[in-house]
Amino acid sequence: MEELFAPPVYEWKRLSPKFRSMRQLTSIVVPPVLLTIPAVIVGVASGRWWISGLIWAAAAVIAIVRLAFVGRSWRSWGYVEREDDLYITHGVMFRSLIAVPYGRMQLVEVESGPLERAFGLATVTLKTASPETGARIPGLSPEEATRLRDRLTELGEAHASGL
C-alpha cells in the first residue's frame, strides 16, 4: 500500500521543523482558548461550576491528543518536483497523494499569515484550471517557498507553451 503514495526513484522533500513547532503551540493553546467562553457561560448560566471543569478537562484532553499527533502529521507531508509534474502527499489516517501537472497550473501563490511569519514560514498554493483541484504545501521556509514559486511558475509556463 505504501508504494501507492511514493513516486518511484524520487526522494520526498519535507516541511520545515518550525512547522511542527508551530502546530505544537497551536495544539496547546487553541483548545483551551476556544472552550474558555463556553465554560464560563455554562458555569455562570447554570451555576454549576463543575460543568465548566468538565469543559476544561475536555479542552485538556483535546490538546493532549492533538499534541500526540503533531509529529506524525508533520512527517506525513512531502513533495517531489518531477520532470512533468509535482507530487504532494500528506495525511496520517486519510492519506492523500496529489499529482499536479506543470502544464495545468494557472497560479502559484505564496502566503504567510501572522503566526507563520512569527515562525519564519510560508505556504505555497497551486491553482489549476479546475476549481475542484489545486494543492498547497504549508510549512516552508521563505527561501524554499520563493524558490519553489519561481521554479513552478517557470515550469508551468514552459509546459503550457507546448500545448
Q: How would you write the pLDDT of the chain (163 residues) with one tens digit per residue?
A: 666 766 667 888 999 999 999 999 999 999 888 888 888 887 778 777 888 888 888 889 999 999 999 999 999 999 999 888 899 999 988 999 888 888 888 889 999 999 999 999 999 999 887 777 778 999 999 999 999 999 998 888 877 655 5
Asked whether residue 115 is domain-assigned, the answer is yes
CA distance 142 to 148: 10
Asked whether residue 11 is domain-assigned, the answer is no
CA distance 134 to 116: 21
Residues 90 and 52 in one domain: no
* pLDDT for 39: 81
Asked whether residue 157 is domain-assigned, the answer is yes
Residues 68 and 105 in one domain: no
Alpha helices in 12-141 (DSSP H): 17-46, 49-76, 114-118
Q: Rounding to the nearest 10 degrees, give the CA dihedral for residues 78, 100, 4, 141.
A: 0
Residues 128 and 111 in one domain: yes
Rounded to 10°, the helix 49-76/17-46 angle is 160
CA distance 40 to 48: 10
* Domain that includes residue 132, residue range: 78-161
Residues 47 and 112 in one domain: no
For the chain, what is the domain count? 2
